[in-house]
Amino acid sequence: MKRLGILTSGGDCPGLNAVIRGVVKSAEQLHYDCVGFLRGYEGLIEPVSYLPLNHKNTSGILNQGGTILGSTNQGRFAATRGVDERVELDVELLAGVQVTVEQLGLSGLICVGGDGSLAIAQQFHEFGIPVIGVPKTIDNDLSATAYTFGFDSAVACATDALDRLHTTAAAHDRIMVLEVMGRHTGWIALHAGIAGGGDVILIPEIPWQFDHVCHKILDRETAGKRFTLIVVAEGAHLPDGDLVTQERRHEALQVRLGGIGNVVAAEIQQRLHRDTRCVVLGHLQRGGPPTTFDRVLATQFGAHAVRLVHHGHFGQMICFRPPQIDSVPIAEAVSRLRRVDPTSAAVQAARALGISFGDCPKTASPFAAPAPVQVEAPSEILAAATV
């Protein structure tokens, strides 16, 4: 039998096990053996650690969160630092991975991960290792795909939190600040804020000021609403441009974000003398079972990855381009982040609902005029129009 390998790298998220199951079941149909490498990329090099995968030990994992293979975003493999900085892997590491692939007789290696993990996969491809990328990130920040699995589950978790905070905020006339994940982009904050009835949404893509946030709170009080829900992405910059960080665990790793929710809550309480509380949702967004949407998307990603291996189309990343599952070169997929467009339909809809993004209300129009669509008419239609 032919054989393929799979690993899960980076932060965990709901849907990883659905991808693994999709790969194994699809591979069996094409008479492939499967092995899963443990602890992400670390499992590829000495000591090599892997687990034979089959329909028996992957049965029942479709609705389970996390990953049965384990994951890591630390260790010897690190290809990104910050937003754009790329780090070249050591040639000896790449050679060690190639030896593992050859010794196990792998026809292809499926790497499931986010921007940083896929940057590693791209270096594998350039080194001659047969690799396929599967996008995974709750931040939904990969530009080549409309959605990544894990995002919908994270938004559902944040929305549920807002639903719960709404009742206690209304009961005590409080200002509640919910900090959600989103290192460089505000997709979770935006979608959860709209779905959960947020009043203020603060994201990295839209500069904001405390004055405008406070004015929104006071406007609500004037209208008889003595509570306010504020959603803030962990990567939203403060008005002075700074990020709120915890600590850098290692020079080769990205700084750990977190704490902006408490900063926002403390500043609002100091300015307005209102009862203000902060809830940091944290890793609750990564845990638990995947939503129906994420189960279907992740399963399709796994099945399509096997097809690409079978046809020898390496160096590709699976992508979702509704309604089709497609693929693009990994290099193209990790070339830039997919960020929230401040003029997008979702942002405009939020503004139309009265949601504030903490920017100047005079310059933030709820409905920006849509750009005119230019359509070139076929020559025969133009000819008929002149008759």
Residues designated catalytic: 139
Say if strands 106-113 and 2-8 run parallel, antiparallel, or are unpaired.
parallel
Angle 246-282-338 (CA atoms, 0-180°, nearest 5)?
Answer: 85
Provide φ and ψ at 88, rounded to 5°. Answer: -80, 130
Q: How far is CA 65 from the centre of its chain?
A: 16
Q: How far apart are CA 161 and CA 133, in angstroms?
A: 32
Beta-carbon contacts of 164 under 8 Å, excluding residues fewer than 6 positions away, are: none
Structure tokens at 250: 């290692």
Angle 176-181-187 (CA atoms, 0-180°, nearest 5)?
Answer: 95
Strand partners, 280: 179
Structure tokens at 32: 């492939």
Q: How far apart are CA 116 and CA 80, in angstroms?
A: 5
Instruction: From residue 341, give the alpha-carbon distance in Å to each of 21, 141, 193, 203, 345.
Output: 35, 12, 16, 11, 9
DSSP letter for 142, please. Answer: B
Cis peptide before 47 (omega within 30 of 0): yes
